[in-house]
């Protein structure tokens, strides 16, 4: 059994939290990505429970409930704008993705913390959630047969291209988020090491802003991918309905 010790400088020099090992025994490894991911989830779960345990109606709402309603309303509006649909069915997934990524990046204000979004394994897992969600929402709307028909539209020759499109979108989501968070952290560390007396506060604020923007971009793209899959189903149905009268007339 080996216990790996480190200091704050080690955190600053590591590009990915996967490289920061807290504990290791044979093939079992406990790294910073796992620790900080569970920390973020714990904060979100406990925070949600504390805010929602005593919900009330206006005008007696607490400040925390007001903040929660502002966040939920904002996410709902963004979902509605991106999908042109009612946001109720999408809110649990999209809201969770945004809050997890945003909090993962905002907590970097605390010394020694590393954002799990700076790990390719984390961003790949988040992108995989979106990859699975796209067919789930499509099947929920049209059924499994109707959804699978979309992969051979307009001709069966398009099947491999549709599959490649689904896989490439998932890879782009994972790599985009990982690359942006990792590069921002690396840039901040380099500038702080070069000019430690001037840049720390400014670059920390810059990193927090970039983290929130990346959370927004990831969730909006996820919503666009889900909505585009559902719109493809409606477009196929509309085209079929338009062809039916022509066939009948003939």
Q: Is residue 109 part of a domain?
A: yes
**Neighbouring residues of 245: CB distance < 8 A, sequence distance ≥ 6:** none
For the chain, the domain total comes to 1
Expressed as residue numbers, the domain containing 154 is 69-238
Please give the Cα distance from 64 to 168 (Å, whole number): 40
**Neighbouring residues of 13: CB distance < 8 A, sequence distance ≥ 6:** 189
Q: Residue 194, exposed/middle/buried by CB under 10 A (0-12, 13-18, 19+)?
A: exposed
**pLDDT tens digits in sequence order for the chain, 250 residues long:** 443 443 333 444 456 787 878 888 878 888 888 999 999 999 999 998 988 887 777 667 778 888 888 999 999 999 998 888 888 889 999 999 999 999 999 988 887 888 898 888 899 999 999 999 988 888 887 788 878 887 887 788 888 888 888 888 888 888 888 888 887 777 777 776 776 666 666 777 777 888 888 899 999 999 988 888 776 555 555 554 555 454 444 4
Question: Quick one: DSSP state of residue 86?
Answer: -
End-to-end CA distance of the chain: 79
Q: Is residue 249 part of a domain?
A: no
Q: Is residue 19 part of a domain?
A: no
Q: Is residue 25 part of a domain?
A: no
- Rounded-to-10 torsion of CA 219, 223, 229, 234: 180
Q: Is residue 198 part of a domain?
A: yes
Query: What per-residue confidence (pLDDT) applies to 5?
Result: 40
For 201, the 3-state DSSP assignment is helix
Asked if 104 contacts 84 with a C-beta cutoff of 8 angstroms, the reply is no
Q: Is residue 46 part of a domain?
A: no
Asked if 105 contacts 212 with a C-beta cutoff of 8 angstroms, the reply is yes
Q: Is residue 131 part of a domain?
A: yes
Inter-CA distances, 4 with 13, 19, 32, 108, 121, Å: 16, 11, 12, 22, 21
Taking residue 249's Cβ as centre, other Cβ atoms within 10 Å add up to 6
Please give the Cα distance from 87 to 59 (Å, whole number): 25
Please give the Cα distance from 129 to 123 (Å, whole number): 10
- Rounded-to-10 torsion of CA 70, 68, 100, 209: 50
Q: Is residue 31 part of a domain?
A: no
């Amino acid at each position: 059994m080996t216990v790996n010790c480190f200091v704050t400088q080690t955190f600053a020099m590591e590009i990915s939290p996967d490289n920061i090992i807290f504990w290791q025994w044979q093939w079992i490894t406990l790294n910073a990505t796992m620790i900080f991911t569970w920390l973020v989830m714990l904060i979100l779960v406990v925070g949600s429970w504390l805010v929602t345990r005593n919900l009330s109606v206006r005008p007696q709402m607490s400040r925390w409930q007001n903040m929660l309603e502002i966040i939920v309303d904002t996410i709902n509006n963004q979902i509605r704008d991106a999908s042109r649909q009612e946001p109720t069915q999408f809110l649990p997934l999209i809201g969770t993705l945004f809050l997890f990524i945003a909090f993962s990046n905002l907590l970097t204000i605390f010394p020694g913390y590393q954002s799990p979004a700076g790990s390719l394994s984390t961003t790949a897992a988040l992108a995989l959630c979106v990859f699975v969600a796209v067919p789930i929402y499509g099947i929920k709307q049209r059924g499994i047969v109707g959804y699978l028909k979309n992969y051979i539209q307009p001709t069966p020759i398009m099947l491999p291209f549709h599959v490649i499109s689904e896989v490439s979108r998932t890879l782009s989501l994972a790599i985009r988020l990982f690359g942006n968070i990792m590069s921002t952290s690396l840039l901040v560390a380099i500038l702080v090491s070069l000019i430690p007396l001037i840049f720390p506060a400014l670059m920390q604020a810059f990193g927090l802003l970039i983290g929130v923007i990346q959370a927004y971009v990831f969730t909006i793209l996820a919503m666009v991918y889900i909505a585009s899959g559902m719109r493809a189903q409606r477009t196929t149905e509309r085209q079929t309905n338009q062809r039916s009268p022509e066939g009948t007339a003939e």
